[in-house]
Amino acid sequence: MTITSNNLTADLPTGVKDKVRDAKETAQGKIQDIKQHLQDGTEALQDKAGETTRHAKDLTDQAVAKLPAPVVGRITQLMAAMRRRPVPAIAVLLGVLLVLRRVLRRNS
């Protein structure tokens, strides 16, 4: 046996049906507003992320331009290795940061 909305509302007075319909339409309108707001926010975040990425790339290019050629070559190799195997690279980076932190704390 299937229950449809017509079967459920058949026994309800017209005033109640109207109120239910109005509440449903109001809820659907609010849901659409929320969806639009989320979509606008998502687009804004994507734009900001793209802008931040471009800015970081520009800063990296500026920093690399100031370095000597042998250092740039080594950095390029390290970046390629990090792209191939990011997890070990991150682990090494965290280890280096921890060592630096300890050294700097002892000196201060």
Output DSSP code: residue 67: S
> Is the same domain home to 21 and 51?
yes
pLDDT of residue 1: 43
Per-residue pLDDT of the chain (108 residues; tens, 9 = 90+): 444 555 666 677 888 888 889 999 999 999 999 999 999 999 999 999 999 999 998 998 888 888 888 888 888 888 888 889 889 888 988 999 999 999 888 877
In a domain, 7, yes or no: no
Number of domains in the chain: 2
The whole domain housing 89 covers 69-108
> Is the same domain home to 62 and 21?
yes
The answer to whether 64 and 72 are in contact (CB under 8 A) is: yes
> Is the same domain home to 37 and 56?
yes
In a domain, 28, yes or no: yes
In a domain, 91, yes or no: yes
The answer to whether 9 and 20 are in contact (CB under 8 A) is: yes
Q: Distance (Å, rounded) from C-alpha 108 to C-alpha 101?
A: 11
In a domain, 92, yes or no: yes
- The H-assigned helical ranges of 1-108 are 5-9, 14-65, 69-84, 86-107
In a domain, 61, yes or no: yes
Q: Distance (Å, rounded) from C-alpha 16 to C-alpha 18?
A: 5
In a domain, 108, yes or no: yes
Model-level pTM? Answer: 0.45
pLDDT of residue 39: 93
> Is the same domain home to 61 and 81?
no
